[in-house]
Amino acid sequence: MSAIKKVVLAYSGGLDTSIILKWLQDQYGCEVVTFTADVGQGEELEPARAKAQAMGVKEIYIDDLREEFVRDFVFPMFRANTIYEGEYLLGTSIARPLIAKRLVEIANETGADAISHGATGKGNDQVRFELGAYALKPGIKVIAPWREWDLSSRESLMEYARTHNIPVDFAKAGKKSPYSMDANLLHISYEGGGLEDPWWEPEEDMWRWTVSPEKAPDKPEYIELTYRKGNIVAIDGVEMTPATVLAKLNVLGGKHGIGRLDLVENRYVGMKSRGAYETPGGTIMLKAHRAIESLTLDREVAHLKDELMPRYASMVYNGYWWSPERLMLQTMIDESQQYVNGVVRVKLYKGNVTIAGRKSDDSIFDANIATFEDDKGAYNQKDAEGFIRLNALRMRIQAGKGRKLK
């Protein structure tokens, strides 16, 4: 008899998680609680409720997490200007700690013994879900069916569904999508299919959110983004919630062919993986945030942030969102944002995001000092001589000792 009496399953209502639901009921003889998260994937989620009910599920959670997702996960990450391996804006990675958090909360609310997810044993998501769960509830049991069962292909999954009378739209499920896709308010990702050949260029109709830059409008569009403590709070003067800001920027960026990425990345589990991503709103956000910081951040603070960012990005990518080191870094990053206030004017044109202007009441750009015209004594150019000689002192000493430079 299984010691597991109740499991909270991260459930989409699709083929994989519908089979997992039935497999948990049969394999563990347990009650299953389903949890479906709305993080802005743009799909109708109520059908998941009907499917779960048809399979005897009594406790069904369908939660709108869009505002929490952007406010507490996406925005903090963008305050750090986070990019993984120089290009990836971490759209899938950043949704996982929120889902893990909610899985644990529901387990606590329902008295569940375990949580379960549909991530495979080859991917990063299993690590992200489970590291998050263990950080938030150390004694939680995690069931990862892909690491336990012997189902290894879409065909075997569909056969299992038929054999066990699992309510799946076989006509739809039988149409094998060429890609494995994941979407939320920050991005949509594509893996598998032809993308498994790094030399192959994806067809144009793969992309869902963005027009091709070649087909984007011939006239640029200007927008103004208002920042408060490092976060966008208004677009063109209209105050918006975090989720509304990102949704609006996705539409604007997609219209102008902004935010496409084709990347071979290094997964945490050890393999290289090729994926394609659309992150239109995030691409605009990153460029604009760096622009407002250029006015308002001290030089050494800005440079220190840039040095630490790759470490922060790896923490997010590898699943350490709830780790003490990420939380410590976040405190430092957020402290740096106290004066990151103002407005950035951005030009969107054929796949490009160009900064057209920036202004801030907290700017530390001093035109009286930086001017190429008469600065009226604001800066004494003679001071530079001593500055240079002192900075050259160690090199002058070594040269004086006859040390050769190679």
By annotation, the residues acting in catalysis are 16, 96, 125, 180
Would residue 257 be called left, alpha or beta, if left means φ above 0 and alpha means ψ between -120 and 50 degrees? Answer: left
Question: How far apart (Å, rounded) are the C-alpha atoms in residues 24 and 118?
Answer: 12
Contacts of 127 (CB under 8 A, 6+ apart): 268, 269, 318, 319
CA–CA dist 134, 73 (Å, integer):
19
Strands (E), 192-259: 221-228, 231-235, 238-239
Residue with tokens 């599920």: 57
What is the separation of C-alpha 222 from the centre of its chain, rounded to a whole number of angstroms?
25
Using an 8 Å Cβ cutoff, are 69 and 40 in contact? yes
Nearest 5°: the CA angle 294, 297, 298 is 115
Give the DSSP H/E element, type plus range, for residue 359. strand 352-359
- What is the Cα Rg of the chain in Å? 25
AA letter at 29 = G
SS3 label, residue 401:
coil
Say if residue 245 is exposed, middle or buried (CB neighbours under 10 Å; 0-12, 13-18, 19+): buried
Return phi, psi of residue 175, to 5°. Answer: -80, 95
Place of tokens 């070594």: 398
Continuous segment of H or E residues that includes residue 396: helix 383-400
Residue 44: CB partners within 8 Å, gap ≥ 6? none
How far apart are the C-alpha atoms of 227 and 231, rounded to whole Å? 5
Distance CA 83, CA 318 (A): 13
- Please state, as a whole number, how many other Cβ atoms lie within 10 Å of the Cβ of residue 303: 11
DSSP H or E stretch at residue 115 = strand 114-116
